[in-house]
């Protein structure tokens, strides 16, 4: 294992070679998420598949909202904690280590969800030998973890909230089996991936209607 420093959206952070190497273009996910914070209701932000936590930390650094960052790898959880300390955000960052479908409690509601699941179909992961398999393997169609993300989003997004999901292609966004009440309203394409903005259909057609949970 080796730790290395990197700079992401002007934040000086650390990562670990057991994690996916941070990709500079994903600063655009942070920037879009930061823009959305001025439009969504009050409440915390949930980051799914956080890795070193850089996307969520950069998105919230000008905000006072709480961030719940989730990853199933203990090395990711440790790294997010260290990075939150480094940038002075530890008091409002909660790190949860586990399967994303299991670490968000029933009834918890979030104003914004940022998600960066593995999206490479298993048959193609051999093209990326430098990347940890668990960070990129999205199953047969590349959407296995993304489907779990949209299920969590549908259950835990506040009315009038928003989610930003990262995938590999626009076709993958179109192939998602979206839960009832959740719709894709915008897709932005970049050379190395796409970002999809999802919202509750009609603004409030999701099940998390209790108001900010914590």
Ligand X SMILES: C[S@@+](CC[C@H](N)C(=O)[O-])C[C@H]1O[C@@H](n2cnc3c(N)ncnc32)[C@H](O)[C@@H]1O
Q: How many residues bind ligand X (CB under 6 A)?
A: 23
The answer to whether residue 72 forms part of the interface with ligand X (CB under 6 A) is yes
Among the candidate windows 6-14, 17-25, 31-39, 190-198, which touches ligand X by CB under 6 A?
Answer: 17-25
Element spanning 86, H or E: helix 74-86
The answer to whether residue 35 forms part of the interface with ligand X (CB under 6 A) is no
Element spanning 60, H or E: helix 54-60
The answer to whether residue 26 forms part of the interface with ligand X (CB under 6 A) is yes
The answer to whether residue 55 forms part of the interface with ligand X (CB under 6 A) is yes
Whether the Cβ atoms of residue 115 and residue 49 lie closer than 8 Å to each other: yes
The answer to whether residue 51 forms part of the interface with ligand X (CB under 6 A) is yes
Q: Quote the CA–CA distance of 193 and 176 in Å, as a whole number.
A: 15
Among the candidate windows 14-22, 171-179, 184-192, 206-214, which touches ligand X by CB under 6 A?
Answer: 14-22
**Read out DSSP for 144-158?**
HHHHHHHHHHHHHEE
As given in the structure block, the two tokens for residue 197 are 């903005």
65: DSSP letter? -
Binding ligand X (rule: CB under 6 A), the pick from 45, 145, 152, 176 is 145
Q: Quote the CA–CA distance of 19 and 133 in Å, as a whole number.
A: 10
The answer to whether residue 134 forms part of the interface with ligand X (CB under 6 A) is yes
The minimum distance between CB 94 and ligand X, in angstroms, equals 15
Binding ligand X (rule: CB under 6 A), the pick from 109, 135, 153, 199 is 135
The answer to whether residue 155 forms part of the interface with ligand X (CB under 6 A) is no
As given in the structure block, the two tokens for residue 14 are 């650390």
Interactions with ligand X, residue window 106-125 (CB under 6 A): 116-118
Strands (DSSP E) found in the chain: 3-8, 11-16, 45-48, 67-71, 93-97, 110-115, 157-167, 182-190, 193-200
40: DSSP letter? S
Of 99 and 189, nearer to ligand X (C-beta) is: 99
Residues making contact with ligand X (CB under 6 A): 19-20, 22, 26, 49-51, 55, 70-73, 76, 99-100, 116-118, 134-136, 145, 148
């Amino acid at each position: 294992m080796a730790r290395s420093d990197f700079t992401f959206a002007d934040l000086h952070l650390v990562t670990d070679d057991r994690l996916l190497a941070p990709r500079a273009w994903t600063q655009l996910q942070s920037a879009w998420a930061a823009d959305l914070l001025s439009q969504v209701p009050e409440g915390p932000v949930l980051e799914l598949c956080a890795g070193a936590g850089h996307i969520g930390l950069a998105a919230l650094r000008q905000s006072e909202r709480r961030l719940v960052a989730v990853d199933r790898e203990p090395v990711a959880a440790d790294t997010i904690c260290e990075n939150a300390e480094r940038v002075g955000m530890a008091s409002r960052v909660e790190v949860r280590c586990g399967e994303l479908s299991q670490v968000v409690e029933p009834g918890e509601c979030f104003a914004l969800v940022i998600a960066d699941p593995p999206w490479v179909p298993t048959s193609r992961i051999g093209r990326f030998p430098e990347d940890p398999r668990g960070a990129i393997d999205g199953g047969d169609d590349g959407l296995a973890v993304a489907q779990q993300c949209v299920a969590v989003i549908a259950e835990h997004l506040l009315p009038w909230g928003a989610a930003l999901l990262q995938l590999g292609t626009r076709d993958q966004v179109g192939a998602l089996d979206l839960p009832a009440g959740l719709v894709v309203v915008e897709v932005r394409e970049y050379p190395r991936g796409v970002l999809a903005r999802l919202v509750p259909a009609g603004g409030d057609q999701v099940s998390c209607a209790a108001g900010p949970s914590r």
